[in-house]
Structure 1
Amino acid sequence: MKEIAILLMLATGCFADSCRALVDGAGCRTRQLAMQRIWEKLPLVTEVKILPREDAPKANQRYFIIHSDGPSPSRDDLIKALGRRAKHYIVLSVEAESRFDQSE
């Protein structure tokens, strides 16, 4: 029984996924933190990181790295979670991202 529990704990990491979302209208730190809080409440999402301005194509855009314990949320999932805020925070793209590509 212990072996099964250990295997299940180890297997959970195998299904973990990450994505990188580019959002327009996210230049303000307050908006960035609002999106971070909203997306951290999505099922299976474990962490949302806000990347520095220098990483984004434009000053009013930001990349967010979203780590989850299952499949990454889709662009539609992120937009739906934003609700009425989605007309101000425009999710431009969501791409698969390897956890190991990010410098911590």
Structure 2
Amino acid sequence: MRPEVQAFLAAGPLPGWDASEELDRRVQQLEAIPAPVTGDEARALASCFGPDDCYGVAWTLLHLIETGPNPILTTDPGPDANEWHQRLYSRAVNGGLVP
């Protein structure tokens, strides 16, 4: 796994809307990860979604994950899953990658 991905993973999930200082650092970490990501990196990055969209940063993370070999979620994560995992799965279904 590349160092840029490891640094992003080490910082944990994205913060919520109430984190302002940390937000800039997380955006810089995310932007430092060159696309495309590997399958292992994509699966690991999927664990970094936070409680909300983090001022749109979660969308950037989702798009980065989708640069890797798709799909990373091949089964429905269920109604209790993080909304971003549900989005990744539904986008794979809608894209014809998962039946």
Fold conserved between structures, TM > 0.5: no
Higher relative contact order, structure no. (Cα contacts within 8 Å, ≥ 6 residues apart):
1
